[in-house]
Amino acid sequence: MSFHEFNAGEWSSQQGERMKQTLSDLIPKEQVLYNIGHSRALPKDHYTVGVEGDVIALGTQFDRQAALGYFDMAGIDGNDELSQFSDEVKLFCHQLQHMMDKREQYLRVSKQRARDNPLNWPDWISYPPPQPRGWHYEDEYGALDYYYDENAKPHYFGENFHIEDYTEKILMPYLEKYPRSGEIIRSASGMLCVKGFEPCDEVPTFRDFVEDITQLIEMSSNKIGQLLSVRRLQYLRNKFESYELLNQNREIYLTKINPHRDFYNVRKIDNNIDLTMCMSKKHLLNVINKKLNDEPNRVVYNENGKDWTLKELFEPYFADNKDERLNIDDLFEFGLIDRTLADKSLYIDDKNTEYDDIIKREVLLRIDSTFLRHDNYIEGEYLSMVLKQVLSDYEKSKYQFGELGVTLQLATAKSDLNPWSSIANWIVNNQLVSHNVKWLVRIARNYPTLKAQGKVSNFQGFIDLIFAPLFEVSIDPLKDINLHFFLTKTSGVTLLSNSLTISAEEEVGDFTQLPTPSDWNSTDNPPYGYYLFYIFQNLTNLNTFRQSKKLSILSLRPMVASVTEAHSFDSLATAFLFSQSIINGERLRHHPVLQYLYYLKQVGITVSPLCWNKSVQYMNDDGRMVAGDKVAYETHPGIDFFKTGMMVSLSTNKPLFSSLTRDPLIEEYSVAGSIHKLSNIDLCELCRTSVLISGFNSQFKQHWIGIKLTDDPEHPHENVDDFAIQRNNVPDMRLNYRNDCVAVEKQFIRNLDEISNGSTE
């Protein structure tokens, strides 16, 4: 089933024509704010006045200044030199333009642009095929609610999935067109690649990277550049507030005449969820109680040769006169939902901890390993049961989707199975497949651990451990069909920042002194930027080959520093150059030049305010943050980024850790809306952004939010028709306003860049 068949006729053409006529009568397009003939004039789409307008447009110079953000001398005396700006400002704008061009170059050579991904090409066939238009969960499975009945079986699409069907219907016909061929070699720089697909000259070398990152450091410390960036960002923030005041009534009116669409039934995607904490407390409680009732004597854990039954794991928490059942309060008592348990030493090796607390926390780690890990003694059976409830909830909602982050277990992987295959086998064997879920593979910065274990001899071995299986399965999909299928459902890879465990002193400031990966033989952990650059280089070679075979490519979506100052600039600067979008990014508010660059290039930023707020609170409680740091929810900068015009989406990250309801994503949006007084349109715009920066293919996005891809790097997507509001509930005037603001800022930079180039020639 092709996506052309799937997308045809979602909306009634008659309804669209009626709405088109209504809006054209209400908002005459010819009424604009000022004369459009000037070379730097704004697009006129959102500067219109209709019956719902709150102001009368005037063609004054002040109106022009408010629209452009600076006093434009050309509007008065024809002076096109922008003489009010100093040479330092013009030089800084030249550097900004250079950095933007660099990012565009790196995304192009790494095939991370949406239009370069075969997943977004018209002939891509999705498997399993999408549900038909008008499908509803209750029509197929009924209204049985397992949430309140732990014995009820959750239903979801993937319970009927079989990898044999995929092999027969999709993979074998594909191999007839693209035979298995290719040989893995090393390029001159030591990178893995496929023979015949060696890296081109545009792929940056480490020396190129050092030059670029050095220039970014110099730009960010430029006082003139900082002042300009702060002023432009403040202007954009105030401009949006002015826009809302002047156009609020009109926006509300447009959404009211838009039938059958509101915040609850527009598509929204949770762009970053930790697999081990993707469930609500009730999800986990259902599985624990069911298993305690059905199989209390089953051996579920082994430690140092000792077997533990399920009942024995929970014995320390059951009093003699208490039923062997848990409730929500018990989970709070355990701390299972109040701590991240990846680092044992963080909680157990504390000299001030009482012995009883150590025992309880050791038991807690066993429970965590049994129920929240996929690579454990029972091969992730319990976690798969919990995840099936989550998938069922997504499909019930119809309008909620998720991108689950699963960590690549390099340190604990079995010697006879690569960690990629371990994840793929767990997903396929447990039928964890859904239209509503895609995957992000997380890579931890744990080279020192692997080096100490003897699994790698140098950093090049670490890189090979990650990418060699991907090259092999890309050349020959039959070598690992499960992994081949898993990669079609994978949006990209995430480099973890580990900001709670990596100190600033461990970061190396002078990149020029760092050895090559094959010469990095010490147990020292490389800087974040070093990790990300070499992952980018190898991913570029992998994507180049996969694109030639019409296989989906992988994007970079790193998790940058969010809570502490540790390597915050390093991660943010490197991510700007090499990644499609980022996760977190709260520290951008301390780096205005980088924040302005992120705005200009509309880099996607996924934030999790609830999880961030709770993490910071616990860091304060544990004495790991300077006293006096603000931890109130409203201090999170995500919504300020959004109002400025940056591409921000909301995510839950760890619902088990931070959420109190059965619907974590709606909770995330509702808290943000209540605290920051966001309108229904603001929330819908955040939802639309979550779809834009997700890894779902463009045919889905066209159906969900009414956009299609273009070949214009300045405008990578455009509306399918004039009334995308029917799909995303965001008025066209809001979208036009956002696009125009970015266009004005880019034109401002270009004008000063051209003057700077002219003065240096």
Taking residues 477-496, what's their average pLDDT? 95
CA angle 603, 607, 611 (to 5 degrees): 165
CA distance 371 to 383: 5
- Between 137 and 391, the higher pLDDT residue: 391
pLDDT of residue 75: 43
In this structure, are residues 637 and 594 in contact, taking their beta carbons and an 8 Å threshold? no
When pLDDT is averaged across residues 40-53 and rounded to a whole number, the result is: 41
Q: Tell me the percentage of the chain whose pLDDT exceeds 70.
A: 76
Q: Which of 147-151, 193-197, 220-224, 620-624 has the lowest mean pLDDT?
A: 620-624
> Does residue 13 register a pLDDT over 70?
no
Distance CA 321, CA 332 (A): 20
597 to 243, 439, 567, 594: CA distances (angstroms): 23, 28, 18, 5
User: Residue 661 burial by CB count (10 A; 0-12/13-18/19+): exposed, middle or buried?
Assistant: middle
At residue 190, the 3 state secondary structure works out as coil
Using one digit for the tens of pLDDT, what is the confidence trace for 526-571? Answer: 999 999 999 999 999 999 999 999 999 999 999 987 665 556 788 8
Tokens of 35: 């004369």
Q: What is the mean pLDDT of residues 240-260?
A: 90
C-alpha torsion sign, points 532, 534, 538, 540: positive
Rg for the chain, CA atoms, rounded? 27
Within 10 A of 391 (CB to CB), how many other CB atoms are there?
Answer: 25
What own/partner pairs with CB < 8 Å and gap ≥ 24 does 599-602 have? 599/233, 599/236, 599/644, 599/645, 599/646, 599/742, 599/745, 600/96, 600/100, 600/742, 600/745, 600/746, 600/749, 601/100, 601/103, 601/104, 601/576, 602/646, 602/647, 602/742
Residue among 171, 203, 174, 175 at smallest CA distance from 187: 203
Report pLDDT for 303: 85
Q: Is 48 exposed, middle or buried (0-12, 13-18, 19+ CB in 10 A)?
A: buried
Highest mean pLDDT among 319-328, 348-357, 694-703: 694-703
Global pTM exceeds 0.85: yes
Q: For position 502, what pLDDT does the model report?
A: 45
Report which of residues 475 and 722 the model is more confident about: 475
Dump pLDDT digits (tens) for 640-696.
999 999 999 999 998 988 888 889 999 999 999 999 999 999 999 999 999 999 999
Strand stretches in 220-317, DSSP E: 268-274, 299-303, 306-309
**Cα distance between residue 47 and residue 737, in whole Å:** 8
Q: Is the pLDDT of residue 499 over 80?
A: no
pLDDT digits (tens, 9 = 90+) for 595-621: 999 999 999 999 999 988 887 766 555
Q: CB–CB of 634/675 below 8 Å? A: yes
Q: Structure tokens of 73?
A: 């001398």
312 by DSSP, 3-state: which? helix
The contacts of residue 403 (CB under 8 Å, 6+ apart) are 269, 270, 271, 272, 273, 437, 438, 439, 440, 491, 694, 695
Per-residue model confidence (pLDDT) at position 322: 59
- Dump the DSSP string for 489-554: TEEEEEE---TTT--GGGS-S-GGGPPPGGG--SSPPPPHHHHHHHHHHHHHHHHHHHHHTT----
Tally of residues, the chain: 761
**Average predicted confidence (pLDDT) for the chain:** 81
Q: At residue 335, does pLDDT exceed 70?
A: no
Structure confidence at residue 334 (pLDDT): 52
Lowest mean pLDDT across 46-55, 202-211, 432-441, 445-454 = 46-55
Q: Are 64 and 234 in contact (CB under 8 A)?
A: no
537 within 8 A of 558, measured Cβ to Cβ: no
For 43-55, give the DSSP string. PSTTS---TT-SS
Angle 401-404-406 from CA coordinates, rounded to 5°: 170
The C-alpha atoms of residue 687 and residue 268 are separated, in whole angstroms, by 5
Provide the pLDDT for residue 35.
Answer: 34
pLDDT at 28: 39
For residues 701-708, average pLDDT: 90
Cα distance between residue 564 and residue 176, in whole Å: 52
pLDDT at 367: 84
Percent of the chain with pLDDT over 90: 46
- Report the candidate in 682, 704, 690, 430 with the shortest Cα–Cα distance to residue 583: 690
Domains and CATH numbers, the chain: 3-102+222-260+724-760 (no CATH), 117-206+261-696 (3.20.20.140)
* Region 400-425 average pLDDT: 86
Lowest mean pLDDT among 69-78, 204-213, 265-274, 348-357: 348-357
Q: Rounded distance, CA 199 to CA 537, Å?
A: 9
